[in-house]
């Protein structure tokens, strides 16, 4: 997170603060997600020049334009995260992220106004999970949202929306997803009254100082957290 109160922006407060943080980072590999306007600055001034080919798009849908599909795949089922073997769930997470996020994940899941489900295939194998939070501006934020394929993602999104009381009262929700993965857009279109209701724009880019850490982009429908996670 890099933020300065609006009236003081551009007056030279932010850069020395950022430099202090980089002094702590030292020679370690550091990562951030840079917004379009700031991305080149992070690369040129602070060495965040190892980047994947793609940007991340923010693709969203107003809740007023959502129609939950009657029919989704019967090959997949979901459970509440608390009813799932946590070792198995965190092992799945390790197929997404090289970091051990065991402690971090429970922190996400236990936040107030937060809904997390896990999706399974017919053999009982975990094939995705997602958390939706009720956030500011009356929005819902699915983050993270991971699924091995679009069919599993549809079942996961349907079950998650259905467990949120009066989800229709919220303004919108959207996925922060790698541009090279088109499935999040297809997922939103499947839940939209028409394709035109889905909007999409380039938003951020993952950037590293020393080494680009690869991610399984085909499974990533939404980053876990756009300030602190590269996947
Ligand atoms: C980004 C932010 C924290 C920078 O803080 P700041 O106090 O305004 O930064 P500074 O005045 O020290 O300027 C640092 C440099 O960034 C540049 N910069 C700052 N905001 C910028 C913007 N929106 N677009 C392009 N360049 C910008 C400045 O021109 C300056 O460049 P220089 O080193 O060549 O002089 C502040 O603009 C902010 O809060 N923005 C909104 C939140 C945001 O976008 N955060 C970044 C998310 S990746």
Q: What would the pLDDT profile of 98-142 be if each residue is shown by its tens digit?
A: 999 999 999 999 999 999 999 999 999 999 999 999 999 999 999
Say yes or no to pLDDT of 89 above 90. yes
Residue 227 has pLDDT above 90, yes or no: no
Average pLDDT rounded to a whole number, residues 154-171 = 98
pLDDT digits (tens, 9 = 90+) for 23-53: 999 999 999 999 999 999 999 999 999 999 9
Is residue 43 included in any domain, yes or no? yes
Q: For residue 230, tell me if it sits in a domain.
A: no
Contact 146, 219 (CB under 8 A): yes
What residues flank ligand 1, with Cβ below 6 Å? 2-4, 9-15, 34-35, 37-38, 41
Is 161 part of any domain?
yes
pLDDT recorded at residue 222 = 98
DSSP 166: T
Structural domain containing residue 194: 17-22+30-222
Count of domains for the chain? 1
User: Ligand 1 centroid vs 115 CA: distance in angstroms?
Assistant: 34
> From the CA of 184, how far away is ligand 1's center (Å)?
30
pLDDT at 25: 95
Q: Is residue 6 one of the residues assigned to a domain? A: no
Confidence of residue 226 (pLDDT cuts 50, 70, 90): confident
Q: Residue 2: inside a domain, yes or no?
A: no
Mean pLDDT within 172-195? 98
229 in any annotated domain: no
166-180 confidence digits (pLDDT tens):
999 999 999 999 999
DSSP percent split of the chain into helix, strand, coil, nearest 5? 35, 30, 35
For atom 21 of ligand 1, the residue with the nearest CA is 38
Query: What residues form DSSP beta bridges with 140?
Result: 134, 173
CA of 13 to the centre of ligand 1 (A): 9
Across 187-191, average pLDDT: 98
143-152 confidence digits (pLDDT tens): 999 999 999 9
Q: Specify if 214 maps to a domain.
A: yes
Q: Is 138 left (phi over 0), alpha (psi -120 to 50) or beta?
A: left
Residue of 1, 2, 51, 225 to mutate, ligand 1, most atoms within 8 A of C-beta: 2
Ligand 1 center from residue 1 Cα (angstroms): 12
Query: Does residue 144 have a cis peptide bond before it, meaning omega lies within 30 degrees of 0?
Result: yes
Average pLDDT score over residue span 200-222: 97
Task: Identify whether 9 is part of a domain.
Answer: no
CATH number, residue 161? 3.40.630.90
Name the residue of 7, 15, 176, 225 to mutate for ligand 1: max ligand atoms within 8 A of Cβ.
15
């Amino acid at each position: 997170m890099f933020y300065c109160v609006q009236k003081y922006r551009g007056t030279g407060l932010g850069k020395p603060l950022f430099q202090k943080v980089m002094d702590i980072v030292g020679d370690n590999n550091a990562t951030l997600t840079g917004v379009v306007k700031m991305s080149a600055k992070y690369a040129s001034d602070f060495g965040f020049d190892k980047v994947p080919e793609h940007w991340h798009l923010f693709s969203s849908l107003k809740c007023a334009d959502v129609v939950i599909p009657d029919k989704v795949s019967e090959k997949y089922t979901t459970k509440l995260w608390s009813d799932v073997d946590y070792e198995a769930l965190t092992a799945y997470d390790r197929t997404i992220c090289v970091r051990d996020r065991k402690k971090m994940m429970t922190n996400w899941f236990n936040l107030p106004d937060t809904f997390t489900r896990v999706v399974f295939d017919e053999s009982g194998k975990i094939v995705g999970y997602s958390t939706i939070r009720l956030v500011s501006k009356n929005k819902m934020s699915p983050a993270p949202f991971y699924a091995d394929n679009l069919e599993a993602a549809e079942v996961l999104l349907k079950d998650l929306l259905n467990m949120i009381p009066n989800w229709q009262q919220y303004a919108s929700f959207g996925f922060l997803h790698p541009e090279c993965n088109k499935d999040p857009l297809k997922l939103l279109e499947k839940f939209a009254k028409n394709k035109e209701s889905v909007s999409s724009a380039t938003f951020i880019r993952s950037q590293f100082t020393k080494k680009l850490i690869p991610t399984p982009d085909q499974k990533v429908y939404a980053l876990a957290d756009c300030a602190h996670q590269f996947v």
